[in-house]
Structure formats: C-alpha cells, structure tokens
Structure 1
Amino acid sequence: MDVRSLRYALTLAEELHFGRAARAHYIAAQPFGRRIQELERELGVKLFERTSRRVALTPAGERFLPRARRVLAEMDELIRTAEGDHAEPILRVGVLGFGLADRWAATRTLLATHHPELELSYRELDWTTQYDAVRTGEVDVAVLHDVGGADDLLVEPVMNTARCAVVPAESELAGAGRLSAADIADVPRVKLGGQPGLVDWGGAPTRRDVEVRSPAHVATAVATTGRIGFHGEPATRFFPHPGVRYLPLEGPDPVVAIASRRNDRRDTVAAFRAATLASPAADSLAAAQAEDAVES
C-alpha cells in the first residue's frame, strides 16, 4: 500500500474538497483523484462519496482513516529516529528523468573523494511524486525539475538546460531549426502530469492532450500518438528515439534542482547537497584540465 496515497486520503478527509486537498500536496486535481481511486480499488471499498456538490466520508472511510492516521504517525516517528543517526552511510536519492545529466560523474567523483564511506541508493521519481517523495521520507534527497510550489522543502537550483520540443519524425515541424510558441499553439501535445507549475512550463493544455507521468516516457508517447512533447536538452542524449526529433523551443528553461527536508541535518544529506552544488565547478575544472592537456 502506497504511503503517499494514504497521506492524500487523510488530507481529503480533512478538506472534503479535491481541489484544496490536491493543492495542499502541490499536485493537480486529476492525478490526485487517480491516487484516491487506486487506493480505494486496492482496499476494495469506497472511502469517499462524491457528488457534483460535495465530498463525504463513507462508513468504511470513517473506520479506515483513523487507523491510517495512526500508522502514518508511527512511520513519521521512525523517519525522525533515523534522521537522528548521523552515521548512516546509505543515502536514498530520488532522481527525475536525466537528473544531473552530464554532471553525475563529477558529483560521484566529489563524493568518492571526500566521503568514500557514503553509499547511494537510487529511486526513480515521476512528476507527480518528485516533491512528495521527499516530504514523506521515501527518499532523503531528490534531483528534480523545479516548477515551484515546494516552499516547505529546501530546494536549490543546480543548473538550467535548454528547452526542447519533441516532435514526431514525420511531422512537418521536424525540419525546423527552432520553434516558437506560435508554431505549436494549436498542436495536440503530450501533457506532463503532476504539479500545476508543469502546465506553465509545458504550455497551455488543449482538449486533445494525452498525459505522461515520467520524463522517460515523453519520446515514446510522441512517437506513438503523433503529438508533440517537451523536454530539456539533455534528453536528446539520455532519451533518444528514432521516431522523434528534438528541436530548440522558446520559453522557460528546465531548472534542475536538489531538494531535501528543511529539518534534515544529517551529514549524509549535507554531503550530497554540497557535491551536487559543486558539480558544475568541478565539471568546468575537469574540462579546462583536459583542454590544457591537449594543447600541451
């Protein structure tokens, strides 16, 4: 049973309004509602009655949710206990899409040099879970696409990447050198499911959109449906696909950031944050050294 879905259900029980409950977790109402439905299917009972005017707890919901609240309180206590152990050598790192892209090598080198005892355990994230995975303690730190709406977390930008449109190889747009917002204004698209901020970054949705939850699925969805998608420039190397073309697109750049809980002061978290934030400088230094070696 997914811990995040339990938290969503508890918030909905408090708010009795899907929109307000979804905003409390910084995600859109549609993926929030899906998680509630998936939880109900898994349990085999309806927790909420929904009408066009109101949301109410069912008798099954009245019985189940107090128990879920007690379980989550115990899990939160376990997380707090674990965070008190500064000697823990394993760090759970959530990664969205290509993450640090070409800077992973520099980050790992810095960690291996200064914290050789630290072991990293990686978890794949998607747009709907990138912030909540940190909040719930599923991961200790996350490398994600910062679209705002996470003021409760410590989020710092690491790098910006160029914005790209992902278009079908057979599309008349595929031969363009660069695309503007006007070029794609009325084209059906692959919508990025998750936080509301993704709507601004991915462009205004149309009624014919299809939704994907993971950056890794964008190119396949574009090739399959004939719609257009959006990505950061590193996707051209990390998510190649023979059925699509990546084209520079005007608009806001993707911001790759590192996120952790504000009250998490473990040495392992601080070490990973420091290595990640230092990776651009380390990468530049390595490139300069390589260039000097070639010239000499």
Structure 2
Amino acid sequence: MDVRSVRYALTLAEELHFGRAARAHFIAAQPFGRRIQQLERELGAKLFERTSRRVRLTDAGERFVPRARRVLRQLDALMEIAEGDHGEPVLRVGVLGFGLADRWPATRSLMAGCRPDVDLTYVELDWSNQYDAVRTGEVDVAIVHNVGGADDLVVETVMDTGRYAVVPADSELADADRLSEHDAADRPWLVPVGQPGLVDWTGGCGTRKPVEVRSPTTIPLAVAATGFLGLHGEPATRFFPHPGVRYLPLDGPHSTVAIASRRREHRDTVAAFRSAVRASTGLERLRHEGTTAER
C-alpha cells in the first residue's frame, strides 16, 4: 500500500474538496484523484462519494480514517527515531521459522528508508534458543514464537496466525478441508521442544514415542519422513511448501509471533526496527481491515 496515497485520503477526509486537498500536497487535482481511486481499488471499497456539489465519506471511509491515522502515527514515530544517533551500522536480527512472513518486504523497505546506513544481518533461531539469543547478546532483536517464559525481556506481539496441522500427503486426512483435535487424536504427532510454553500451544497433541523437532523449519520434512503429524502457523503454507505434506486448518491455540529485545536496550537501531515492524503490521492490517466493520 502506497503511504502517500493514504496521506492524500486523510487530507481529503478533512477538506472534503479535491481541489483544496490536492493543493495541500502541491499536486494537481487530476493526479490526486487518480491516487485516491487507486487506493480505493486496492482496498476494494469506495471511501468517498463524489457529486458535482460535494464530497463526503462513505461508511467504509468512516471506518478507514481512524485506522489510517494510527498507521501514519506509527510511520511518523519511525521517522523521528531515524533522526537519532546513527552510530550502529549493523543490526543482528534473530529469526525463528517464517519470522514476519509476508511483512518482511515492508519492514525491510521501511528500515532502508529511515536508516539506510544500517545493515540487517539475520541469525536463524530455534525454539530452544529464541529467547536466550537475545539475553546473551547473540542478536540485538528477535522475531520469536511467543510461548511465554520471557518476562525478563520486552516481548511485543505483532502477528497472530491460524493453527495448521501438517499431514503426510498420502494420509487419508490429507483430503479434509480442516481438522479438529478429535479427528487426529489417535495419530502420532511430532513434538516441538525447547520452551515449556510449547505444551500449551500443542494443546496436548503428542505421542507415546515422540519424534522431537526443535525448529519450525524442520517440521514439513519431518512429517514427510516419519508419517507423523505436525503443527505450524498459517504462513508456513506459503513459506514452507513440501510435496510430501498438506496443510490443514486445525482447531486450537493460534501461533503468536512477537518481537523480543532486552529490557535495558536503548539503541536507536533496535527502536527503529521495532517501529518498522509495527508500521508494516499497521499497513498490512489497513490493507485487509481498513474498510471492514470492527470485530
């Protein structure tokens, strides 16, 4: 989503006049109007009713405006951080599994825009070290599976994804539309290990002779190799495809993705990354929920 078009829409919502709103951004009314139309097409809803006499917000526009203002406040906060001390040239980011999933491109773009002097380096994590890598300073900030047990860190939820069963492609379960825990209660399951809170996320899925997995990235391969069932978050359906498995929606606790950093972490590069993630999350939500009714 183009941020400039969002700013144009908010100005138009205030002015309710295309000419005045366009002049506020120093462009002509015609290209201004095209940007508004492009934004409406992307959102799949009309934000403004236009007649020869007046412009008014539609119901979708009324819902869009407060959400868009929240996103722009996040972006403005990011730019304020960008004006701080530029003494840190490298930011080490720990990543568990699919990390930020579809939000990586927007996050990288926002970071590059506000801190082009910073190189992002990535360290692959697993469940056993996702928090300890932050505690020991191996990474500056981490994208983790938030399963609790990190009260000494600043852990901020950024994404709540659906819970999916990973089943062998040759299993009779593979043709189902979705599964309940009852459907697969007697099947052998892979057991994620590394954090006590994983037990709550698995919801009791397990087996008497467990096959343990320590990283989300290994789950599809382990399912294909063993014939056991596994658990994953929804983005794995796109980021970890495997010809030997199928992903099916599964009832139970969602997978929660979070940013983790140390409590006494004051470097502006870490603050900038956190703000970039928040802003990319806000843009994603605005794209999908900006004109829908509050849930």
- Please report the TM-score for the alignment, with normalisation by the length of structure 2: 0.67
SS, match of residue 251 in structure 1: coil
Q: Once the 2 structures are TM-superposed, how far is the Cα of residue 283 of structure 1 from its aligned partner?
A: 3.1
Partner of residue 216, structure 1: 217
Higher relative contact order (CA 8 A, sep 6+): 2
Q: Give the whole-Å Cα distance in 2 for the aligned partners of 1:234 and 1:107.
A: 16
Q: Deviations for 1:133-172, whole angstroms, at most 9, x for unmatched residues?
A: 0001000000011001100000000011111000001111
Partner of residue 168, structure 2: 168
1:37-56 aligned within 5 A = none
Question: Is contact 2:145-2:256 (8 Å) kept?
Answer: yes
Partner letter of residue 149 of structure 1? Answer: G
Q: Give the whole-Å Cα distance in 1 for the aligned partners of 2:181 and 2:288.
A: 35
SS, match of residue 258 in structure 2: strand
SS, match of residue 173 in structure 1: helix
Partner letter of residue 253 of structure 2? Answer: P
Does residue 279 (structure 1) correspond to residue 280 (structure 2)? The answer is yes
Q: Once the 2 structures are TM-superposed, how far is the Cα of residue 287 of structure 1 from its aligned partner?
A: 7.4
The count of aligned residue pairs is: 206
Larger radius of gyration: 2
Partner letter of residue 164 of structure 2? Answer: C
Does residue 178 (structure 1) correspond to residue 178 (structure 2)? The answer is yes
Partner of residue 65, structure 1: none
1:223-262 aligned within 5 A = 223-262=224-263
Q: Once the 2 structures are TM-superposed, how far is the Cα of residue 288 of structure 1 from its aligned partner?
A: 9.7
Q: Give the whole-Å Cα distance in 2 for the aligned partners of 1:287 and 1:223.
A: 33
Question: Is contact 2:92-2:139 (8 Å) kept?
Answer: yes
- Please report the TM-score for the alignment, with normalisation by the length of structure 1: 0.67
Question: Is contact 1:131-1:150 (8 Å) kept?
Answer: yes
SS, match of residue 187 in structure 1: coil
Partner letter of residue 212 of structure 1? Answer: V
Question: Is contact 1:189-1:208 (8 Å) kept?
Answer: no
SS, match of residue 230 in structure 1: strand
Question: Is contact 2:203-2:253 (8 Å) kept?
Answer: no
1:43-192 aligned within 5 A = 87-192=87-192
Runs of 5+ unmatched residues, structure 2:
1-84, 291-295
The CA RMSD measured in Å over matched residues stands at: 1.9
Q: Give the whole-Å Cα distance in 2 for the aligned partners of 1:195 and 1:100.
A: 20
Q: Give the whole-Å Cα distance in 1 for the aligned partners of 2:288 and 2:170.
A: 37
Q: Once the 2 structures are TM-superposed, how far is the Cα of residue 203 of structure 1 from its aligned partner?
A: 3.0
Partner of residue 264, structure 1: 265
Q: Deviations for 1:55-107, whole angstroms, at most 9, x for unmatched residues?
A: xxxxxxxxxxxxxxxxxxxxxxxxxxxxxx96111000000000000000110
Runs of 5+ unmatched residues, structure 1:
1-84, 290-296
Identity %: 67
SS, match of residue 184 in structure 1: coil
